[in-house]
Chain A
């Protein structure tokens, strides 16, 4: 029964994607699957949040009715728009070329999904922060009746009352529909996002580089023991990893195809990113600023299409970011680690010692054996193809990581409530984790990108030997 709830969310995501891409070239099926999971579960969480605001308590029949109503509306909209354009409401799946690599990838994912589920089942309640924060809040939302807002003002600050609630609301929706045990739902959600993130990396890269290399990148991630550990720990970080990767892939598709539907989709993903954790808010602001700058100041771009893309991004953003705006303005307390009164507090680490601590921790993390040399490999690729990382639309990816890294360093330097060494030790690994899939995408996309006139599906002309 609880799998049916996930399927309803997937269907909702699929219909949203189909509606958005009706005027353009189809998004490949393999890319649609993980995107539909992300968009569908994100919208399900937003609907569940809305039901809490309207009824002021956990109301399973209302949540189910809202979800089914929205699903019906999306189906009718698809039917209406596609009939108007003489399209079929369900897109045909194309298997023109024998997709041997795709089949190999599917076989690998099927086997590994069981392996990952088995590993995840070692900790059905998740790791510390998972049960202490996210799963506790899910339980609180389900059981607290009309005092659910106490999450924000009465729970101890250890529970991070200012953190947005996308992950708990996803799990609450599944519970509302199925009544399944919460620990089973949290575990399944974690495994689903771990797998979806990987499929997304493969399907995203496959648009731009050779399938074989994309499959290698995907295997590199999914076979990585520490990635699997963090992804199945039931933290919200796997959601950050997923939505950031999805945003970057769709941003690249939007910039290369100049498609307005992709722009709306990108806006939606960025809006959902902000409802996961405060880091998502920073990521959204950095990425939007870079996109605006690129689209407005790039002389090679057609101004009209640039404005259309920006318009699309902001329409999509409004559709999902209302959750975060309402949450931050009316519910959540201010963040005690970032929005502190700097004038009144002593910033103990805003000095050379703080910088030294941060960079030595960065070095240790890069060389840490749990990462199995993956960061050294990424650094090698970066230096080997340095010039390419700042070429055309690719510079958005590189600049995003540089600016975001800078923001993170500033946040560390302004640490006031903790010991910086302890904070670095307990959070740096997680930052590396949620950036890893996106950084892999950035490296592979930049380093192995085929020339723009070459479609990845068609045989690579450079590989043909001359007679």
Chain B
């Protein structure tokens, strides 16, 4: 019993010895200095990067389409790319960001408006033919905004 009480009495931890304190402060200073050097390098890298590419361009491949889907709550988004691959899912996210608040319904061809972002433009044309849609707008990057009932009101949107 007395041993147990002795252990309890010594439980409150001692303050760190001055040597270990000094050692840790020294480590701390060294790491902080290394970090400062790394941060300066980062700043230089950012400066060089901004010289080459002054703007971050998100969703530029879908540029110009936002004004044509304005007011539409949901549009379809068709792609033959594998969205499990990071680069392709990134393009879908780009499209959603640039076209928000319009919602993109992935690979749903039931909507009136459908965005075709395919590996080849010929794939998009084949799909449009299958579902009876026609291209309504196409931007310089080959992204097509198609409309399904375009033949019902020919010429009304050109």
Could you tell me if A385 and B13 are in contact, using CB atoms closer than 8 angstroms?
yes
Q: A147-B101, A156-B92, A223-B36 are in contact. List 10 more A-B contacts (CB 8 A).
A: A115-B39, A124-B55, A135-B97, A145-B101, A220-B28, A228-B39, A372-B34, A374-B31, A381-B24, A447-B16
Residues from chain B with a CB closer than 8 A to the CB of A139 are 97, 100-101
> Which positions 39-59 of chain B face chain A at CB distance < 8 Å?
39, 41-43, 46-47, 49-50, 55-56, 58
Q: Which 3 A-B pairs have the closest CB atoms?
A: A144-B101, A132-B93, A388-B13
Alpha-carbon distance between A158 and B101 when the two chains are bound, in angstroms: 16
Mask of A133-144 contacts with B, CB within 8 angstroms, 1/0: 001100110011
| Candidates A132, A143, A388; contact of B97 at CB < 8 Å | A132
> Is B73 on the interface with A (CB-CB < 8 A)?
yes
Cα A330 to Cα B82 with chains together (Å): 34
Return the chain B residue nearest A227 by Cβ. B35
Which residues does chain B contribute within 8 Å of A140, judged by CB atoms? Answer: 100-101
Determine the distance from Cα of A147 to Cα of B49 in the docked complex, in whole angstroms.
Answer: 39
Contact with A125, one of B20, B29, B58, B89 (Cβ below 8 angstroms): B58
With CB as the reference atom, state the residue of chain A lying closest to B50: A122
Interface of B is mostly: helix
Q: How far is the CA of A229 from the CA of B35 in the complex (A)?
A: 13
Q: How large is the interface on A (under 10, 10 to 19, 20 to 34, 35 or more residues)?
A: 35 or more
Mask, A346-390, CB within 8 Å of B = 1, is: 000000000000000000000000001110010011001101100
Say yes or no for B123: interface residue by CB 8 A criterion: no
**Contacts A132-B97, A154-B74, A380-B27 given; does A372 touch B35 at CB 8 Å:** yes
The answer on a CB contact under 8 Å between A220 and B20 is no
Is A391 part of the binding interface, using a Cβ–Cβ cutoff of 8 Å? yes
Interface size, chain B (Cβ < 8 Å): 43
Which residue of chain B has the shortest Cβ distance to A142 in the bound complex? B101
A161 CB to closest chain B CB (Å) equals 11
B15 at the A/B interface (Cβ < 8 Å)? Answer: yes
- What are 25 sample pairs from A and B whose C-beta atoms fall under 8 A apart? A118-B43, A119-B46, A125-B58, A131-B97, A136-B96, A136-B97, A139-B101, A140-B101, A144-B100, A147-B101, A216-B25, A217-B28, A220-B31, A223-B36, A224-B35, A225-B38, A228-B39, A377-B27, A377-B28, A385-B16, A387-B11, A391-B11, A391-B13, A447-B16, A448-B16
Given known contacts A372-B35, A377-B31, is B16 in contact with A384 (CB within 8 Å)? yes
**In the bound complex, CA of A155 to CA of B103 (Å):** 6
Q: How far is the CA of A118 from the CA of B31 in the complex (A)?
A: 23
Q: Roughly how many angstroms separate A144 CA and B74 CA in the complex, as a whole number?
A: 11
Query: Which residue of chain A has its CB nearest to the CB of B15?
Result: A451
Contact A372 B100 (CB under 8 A): no
Write out the residue numbers on chain A whose beta carbons fall within 8 Å of the beta carbon of B36.
223
Let me know if A128 is at the binding interface, CB within 8 A: yes
Query: Which residues of B are interface residues toward A (Cβ below 8 A)?
Result: 11-13, 15-16, 20-21, 24-25, 27-29, 31-32, 34-36, 38-39, 41-43, 46-47, 49-50, 55-56, 58, 73-74, 89-90, 92-93, 96-97, 100-101, 103-106
Among residues of A, the one whose C-beta sits closest to the C-beta of B70 is: A143
Q: Which of B11, B32, B90, B105 contacts A216 (CB 8 A)?
A: B32
Q: Is A101 an interface residue (CB 8 A)?
A: no
Among B31, B35, B39, B56, which residue has its beta carbon within 8 angstroms of that of A122?
B56
Q: How far is the CA of A372 from the CA of B28 in the complex (A)?
A: 12
Cβ B97 vs Cβ A372 within 8 A: no
Known: A223-B36, A225-B35, A384-B20. A128 touches B93 (CB 8 A): yes
Is residue A428 contacting chain B, with contact meaning CB distance below 8 A? no
Do residues A158 and B100 form an inter-chain contact, with CB atoms below 8 A? no
Given contacts A143-B101, A228-B42, whether A373 and B25 have CB atoms under 8 Å apart is no
The answer to whether A158 touches B92, judged by C-beta atoms less than 8 angstroms apart, is yes
Query: In the assembly, what is the distance between CA of A381 and CA of B100, in Å?
Result: 48
**Cross-chain contact A159 with B31 (CB below 8 angstroms):** no
